[in-house]
Amino acid sequence: MAPRAELVHWAFAAGFLLLGLILLAEVIVGAEVFAMRRWRVYLWPSIAFGIGVALWPVSVFFTNSTIHMLAHASWAEVAMLAGAVQLALVRGKLTSRWWTLSLSLTLLVSAAAFLVHEQNPWLFSRAAFLHHAIGWTLLVAAVFPLGQVLQPRRAAWSAGFALTWVVLAVMLFCDRDVAPIFGHLSDLAAPG
C-alpha cells in the first residue's frame, strides 16, 4: 500500500530537519572542531545522498499527476548528485571548491520545481502559500553556497545554508493542501 502523501512529506521533512541541525551544529562549533571525529564530516552529504535515493520511489509510486512525478524526480536527481559531489569533496576525489556550486544548482532546480508545480496563487490555500514560500526560499538560498565559495571563512553563509534546511523542514511539516490560511480565501479551497 502506498503511504499517504503527507506522511511522505513529513518523512522527508524529518530528513531535512536532521540535515539542517547537523549543518547548524557544524556552524556553531566550527568546522575544525566538528571534523575532529572524521565520521561527522560524512554525515550531511550521506543524508543528502540518501534523501536523493529515497526520493526515486516517491517519484514513481506517486503518479497521480505528471507534474508531481517530474518534480519528485528532479529533486531525487539533484539531491543524489549534490550528495555525491559533497561526499567526493570530503573524500578528496574532487578538490576544487567551485564544486560547492553544485549545491546552488540543486537549490535552483528544487526551487523551480516547487514554483512550477504550483498552479495557484500565493493565498489560494495553505498548500499554495507554502509551495510558493518554499520555492522562493530555496531560490534565495541558492546564494549561500556561492557565498561559501567566495568567502569560505564567513560563517553567515554556512549558517544561512544550514537554516535553509530547518526552515524547509518546518514548512514541509506545515504543508496541508486544503487547510486554510487566514481563513478560506477561495470557495474551491474548502476543507476536505
Partner 1 sequence: MRRLPLIGILALAFPGAAAAHATLIGISPPTQARLEVPPPAVVLRFDQSVTTTGRAIEVFSAAGRRVSGPSEAGDGGRVVRVPLSGLGRGEAYTVRWRATSSDGHTSSGVYTFGIGVTPPPPTEAYGSTGPTWTDDAARWAFFVALALLVGTMGLRLLVLREPLPPRLSNRLFGLAAAGGIVTLNVGIAAFVMRAADALQVPFADLLYGDLSPIATKTRFGAAFVAMTLGYAAVTALVLLAWILDRPRLLWPAFVLGLGFATGLSLSGHQGVEPNATFLTGLADWLHLVAAMLWVGGLVALATCVWPLAPTLRRTAFLGFSRIATVLVAVLVVAGTYLSISRLPATSELWETSYGHALLAKIAIVCVALGWGAMHHFFVRPRLERDDAPRGLRRSLIGESTVAILVLLAAAVLVNARPPAVEPTGGARVASTLPR
- The residue count for binding partner 1 (CB under 8 A) is 55
Cα–Cα distance measured from residue 113 to residue 22, given in angstroms and rounded to the nearest whole number: 25
- 13-52 core/surface letters (b: 16 or more CB in 10 A; e: else): bebbbbbbebbbebbeeeeeebeeeeeebebbbbbbbebb
Give the interface segment with partner 1, choosing from 29-37, 68-76, 145-153, 156-164 (CB under 8 A).
68-76
Binders of partner 1 among residues 6 to 45 (CB under 8 A) are: 6-7, 9-11, 13-15, 17-18, 21
Task: Indicate the SS3 state at residue 126.
Answer: helix
Give the interface segment with partner 1, choosing from 30-38, 84-92, 96-104, 144-152 (CB under 8 A).
84-92
Tell whether residue 119 is a contact of partner 1 (CB under 8 A): yes
Instruction: Return the number of other C-beta atoms located less than 10 Å from residue 185's C-beta.
Output: 16
Cα–Cα distance measured from residue 59 to residue 7, given in angstroms and rounded to the nearest whole number: 15
Tell whether residue 192 is a contact of partner 1 (CB under 8 A): yes
Which residues sit at the interface with partner 1, rule CB under 8 A?
Answer: 4-7, 9-11, 13-15, 17-18, 21, 49, 53, 56-57, 59-61, 63-70, 73, 76-77, 80-81, 84, 87-88, 91, 93, 117, 119-120, 124-125, 127-128, 173, 176-179, 186, 188-190, 192
